[in-house]
Chains A and B, each alone.
Chain A
Amino acid sequence: MAAVKTLSIDGRLINARGDQTILEAAKEAGIAIPTLCHLEGVSDVGACRMCLVEVGDPPRLMPACTTQVFEEMKVQTSTERLRNFRRMIVELLFAERNHVCAVCVANGNCELQNLAERVGMDHVRFDYLYPKLPVDISHERFGIDHNRCILCTRCVRVCDQIEGAHTWDVAHRGVNARVITDMHQPWGTSPTCTSCGKCMQACPTGAIFAQGSTVGEMERNRSMLTFLINAREKKQWNI
């Protein structure tokens, strides 16, 4: 058991275990920090920067999901600067690829769409890039639409850490980065994919979908993921 640390989040004094992140400590204290790439049960990578918080004085920006607590840490989770940055991050995600909510399989069940509401995004101030991106429906049950992908890497992490297949990975850099299957080959030809569907359940947007779903039909069911995590880590096998 790691030593107990005392820190303050938004002016409230909080006790947390030394091995906990700011995000975990805040959650236990009932303080909600917006997240996007974070997924319960798999490791955190700090990819999306939605959970940025201010630490110390003068305040430094740190991702809450990958920053461990320390003694006398002072954290602010919702300053005007952070709110501005969060809205900017969501706007940039919308501008980077082709997120057309009206015709998206995830319309109404999308974490990016929900975040846009939460951060008060009424329009995108940046120029849209309109990249030409492929849709791979070579897998017999699932599809990947790169137009909707935000590179959160949840699919990469569930496939590696829960399923143990590591079919997914990320290729290229920066704005050209893409999630790929195996050796950057059509998903349907992947020799490692077990067709378990965990990537589809983990995906926050309409990027990975079940074939046959049309606008607004792609609802996620994360209970399969939480069941496996509880079984492995807490030895609880009841659903």
Chain B
Amino acid sequence: MEHLKLATMWLAGCSGCHMSFLDLDEFLIDLAGMIDIVYTPLIDAKVFPGRVDVTLLEGAVANQDHLEFVKMVRARTSILVSFGDCALTGNVTAMRNPLGGAEVVLRRSYIDSGDAGAQFPSSPGVLPQLLDRVVPIHHVVPVDVYIPGCPPPASRIRAVLEQLIGQHPAQLAGTDLKFG
């Protein structure tokens, strides 16, 4: 049987969910025999492949790059997994939303608390534009599986991966649905 093609990526997050993924410890060795990791910040892959079975997306959608990336990933992925609280709820990254739109947030960070000569960061084509609101992934594209947690414990990630490798529809329940 062909191995499951797995991709992972982080958007607006802290990469803590990926650290939790690495906390799978020796299961990572078993996992290496069952899946092919085709794209992730943890390996040196430059291009997102044309066809992926499962993608774990950590973090919320906070800027234009995230928005385009999420839409591209959705189009190329069979099972899209929202990975961790930022992806599911916006979490800490969405705490800027009550302040107002992108300009208000940038002003607060770069002008109000800046030194003399403070200015907005601007580098078209290099720095992606902030969105006015940070939103969860499922507010942008349909999501198939949700893994809550900040970060999700390794056991929860393993439960989902095992279900997906076994060709079962992944579904968490009970204490595995704890946010935070």
Determine, out of A38-46, A68-76, A112-120, A196-204, the stretch whose residues face the partner at the interface.
Answer: A112-120
Determine, out of B4-12, B18-26, B61-69, B133-141, the stretch whose residues face the partner at the interface.
Answer: B133-141
* Closest chain B residue, CB of each to CB of A125: B138
Determine, out of B36-44, B90-98, B106-114, the stretch whose residues face the partner at the interface.
Answer: B90-98
Determine, out of A96-104, A150-158, A172-180, the stretch whose residues face the partner at the interface.
Answer: A96-104
Cβ of A123 and Cβ of B85 under 8 Å apart?
A: no
Q: Decide: A101 near B150, CB < 8 A? Known: A130-B97, A130-B98.
A: yes
Cβ of B177 and Cβ of A122 under 8 Å apart?
A: yes
- Interfacial chain A residues near B135, Cβ < 8 Å: 128
- Interfacial chain A residues near B146, Cβ < 8 Å: 122-123
* Closest chain A residue, CB of each to CB of B176: A117
For window 143-158 of B, CB contacts with A under 8 Å fall at 143, 146, 148, 150
- Of A103, A117, A127, which contacts B177 at CB under 8 A? A117
- Interfacial chain B residues near A101, Cβ < 8 Å: 85, 150, 179-180
- Of A116, A120, A127, A128, which contacts B179 at CB under 8 A? A116
Is the C-beta of A133 less than 8 angstroms from some C-beta in chain B?
yes
- Interfacial chain B residues near A132, Cβ < 8 Å: 98-99
Is the C-beta of A187 less than 8 angstroms from some C-beta in chain B?
no
Number of interface residues of A (CB under 8 A): 23
Cβ of B90 and Cβ of A113 under 8 Å apart?
A: no
| Contact digits for B75-90, partner A, Cβ 8 Å, 1 yes 0 no | 0000000100100111
CB distance from B2 to the nearest CB of A (A): 29
- How far is it, in angstroms, between the C-alpha of A94 and the C-alpha of B177 when the chains are bound? 14
Chain A interface SS verdict (over half): loop
- How far is it, in angstroms, between the C-alpha of A174 and the C-alpha of B22 when the chains are bound? 45
- Interfacial chain A residues near B143, Cβ < 8 Å: 123
- How far is it, in angstroms, between the C-alpha of A104 and the C-alpha of B89 when the chains are bound? 14
Is the C-beta of A108 less than 8 angstroms from some C-beta in chain B?
yes
- How far is it, in angstroms, between the C-alpha of A113 and the C-alpha of B149 when the chains are bound? 12
Number of A-B contacts (CB under 8 A): 67
Is the C-beta of B131 less than 8 angstroms from some C-beta in chain A?
no
Cβ of B98 and Cβ of A128 under 8 Å apart?
A: no
Determine, out of B27-35, B47-55, B117-125, B167-175, the stretch whose residues face the partner at the interface.
Answer: B167-175
Cβ of B136 and Cβ of A123 under 8 Å apart?
A: yes
Number of interface residues of B (CB under 8 A): 29
Cβ of A120 and Cβ of B173 under 8 Å apart?
A: yes
Is the C-beta of A21 less than 8 angstroms from some C-beta in chain B?
no
- Interfacial chain A residues near B99, Cβ < 8 Å: 132
Is the C-beta of B71 less than 8 angstroms from some C-beta in chain A?
no
Is the C-beta of A107 less than 8 angstroms from some C-beta in chain B?
yes
* Closest chain B residue, CB of each to CB of A95: B89
Is the C-beta of A131 less than 8 angstroms from some C-beta in chain B?
yes
Cβ of A123 and Cβ of B150 under 8 Å apart?
A: no
Cβ of B82 and Cβ of A102 under 8 Å apart?
A: no
29 residue pairs A–B, Cβ–Cβ below 8 Å: A94-B89, A98-B95, A100-B89, A100-B95, A100-B180, A101-B180, A102-B91, A102-B179, A102-B180, A104-B180, A113-B178, A116-B179, A117-B174, A117-B177, A117-B178, A120-B173, A121-B177, A122-B146, A122-B172, A122-B177, A123-B88, A123-B89, A123-B136, A123-B138, A123-B143, A123-B146, A124-B88, A128-B89, A130-B133
New contact pairs (11) apart from A102-B91, A103-B92, CB-CB < 8 Å: A98-B98, A100-B91, A100-B94, A113-B180, A116-B179, A123-B138, A127-B139, A128-B90, A128-B97, A128-B136, A130-B97
3 A-B pairs closest in CB distance: A101-B180, A102-B150, A130-B97
The chain A residues found within 8 Å of chain B, CB to CB, are 94, 98, 100-104, 107-108, 113, 116-117, 120-124, 127-128, 130-133
The chain B residues found within 8 Å of chain A, CB to CB, are 82, 85, 88-92, 94-95, 97-99, 133, 135-136, 138-139, 143, 146, 148, 150, 172-175, 177-180
